[in-house]
Amino acid sequence: MPTTDGKAAATRDAAIAGAVAGGASRLVAAPLDLIKIRFQVQQAPISSHPGAKYVGFLQSIRSIHAEEGLRGFWRGNLAATGLWISYSAVQFGAYGGLKTLWPPDIANQHSTLVSSVNGATAGVLATVVTYPLDLFRTIFASQGVPKQFPTLQSLASHTLETRGVVGFYNGLGPTLCQIAPYMGLSFGIYAALNDLTASSGVHWVLSYVGTGATAGLVSKLMVYPLDTVKKRMQIRQLQRNPSYGVMTPYSSSWACFLDIVRREGMRGLYKGTVPSLLKSVVTHSSTFASYEVALVVLQRLRQDEDDDDEMDKL
């Protein structure tokens, strides 16, 4: 078992590497994230419905660019970047710390199960810690133009005045129901695929990109309806331009789920699947690869420091 100092160092390295990975993935995935959210919070059915503002992936890109410009694809990017960096730091830090708690024989024999449990636990912890930023990110990405909230400060002040501190956690319930299986599957699939590719001779960075992309694609597809419900619950109080469609003030996540199925059919739960799956492939591949590379660099730097300390003692 690792020493106490070793555990602390492993957790710290994992947190720093996670923050680097979160920032890197955010830079490339922001436009896909915004498009996905716009589809998820649109109540009108797609398929060229007369009341639908967005009816297809390419059409949504043209519409957003025409109305909001290129910068519109990074709307709410400050909140989102803060979310992804802090979320990834907490998640990977917790994941790295949890790995050191398992007896080596169990961790080696049941690596996929252990990774799933650690991933789900770390995901829940990171979600609770960073949830207000997730809420702000969703609202900024959903409001369109004209903006109801031009700055983070205006949104935070409005939330505090109208709903109190509890308002910063609007939609937390469905989020936790979605994030636990999502991260459990993601880390479990990633670990299982890494075990399979360990002896394949594939360059380790390319291996992490491929396994991360596959893990993101499969896990996101399996929990996507829960993510749609989560997004609807997060913006149920948002007043938007009527051209974006009205939002129903759902009383609960279950009521939201049933209303989507009744009004929009089962397809309504999968709105924005194309940009979402593209985003998951991009973010998971870049996140896991960046994390693994940063972790190796940090570990080598720490090893060099330890070697220097040993030399000084001689």
Predicted confidence (pLDDT) per residue in 182-195, tens digit? 999 999 988 888 88
Residue length of the chain: 314
CB atoms within 10 A of CB 242: 7
More confident residue, 254 or 204: 254
For the stretch 258-278, pLDDT in tens is 999 998 899 889 988 888 888
More confident residue, 314 or 12: 12
Give me the phi and psi of 56, to 5 degrees please. Answer: -165, 165
Counting residues of the chain whose pLDDT is more than 90, the rounded percentage is 18
What gap in Å lies between CA 273 and CA 253, rounded to an integer? 20
What gap in Å lies between CA 227 and CA 116, rounded to an integer? 19
What CATH number does the domain containing 23 carry?
1.50.40.10
More confident residue, 302 or 2: 302
Q: What is the mean pLDDT of residues 301-305?
A: 73
Q: Contact 84/26 with Cβ under 8 angstroms?
A: yes
Q: Which residues contact 84 (CB under 8 A, 6 or more apart)?
A: 22, 23, 25, 26
CA distances from 1 to 5, 146, 192, 299 (A): 11, 57, 23, 18
Which residues span the domain enclosing 245? 4-313
Q: Which residues contact 179 (CB under 8 A, 6 or more apart)?
A: 123, 124, 127
In angstroms, how far is CA 2 from the centroid of its own chain?
30
- The answer on pLDDT for 42 being more than 50 is yes
Please tell me the predicted confidence (pLDDT) of residue 184. 93
Gyration radius of the chain over CA positions? 21
Q: Contact 271/38 with Cβ under 8 angstroms?
A: no
For the stretch 58-84, pLDDT in tens is 888 899 899 888 888 877 667 777 778
Could you give the number of structural domains in the chain?
A: 1
More confident residue, 147 or 274: 274
Burial group, residue 312, by CB count within 10 angstroms (0-12, 13-18, 19+):
exposed
Eight-state DSSP code of residue 244? G
More confident residue, 280 or 269: 269
End-to-end CA distance of the chain: 27
Q: Contact 130/87 with Cβ under 8 angstroms?
A: yes
Q: Please tell me whether the peptide bond between 146 and the residue prior to it is cis, using omega within 30 degrees of 0.
A: yes
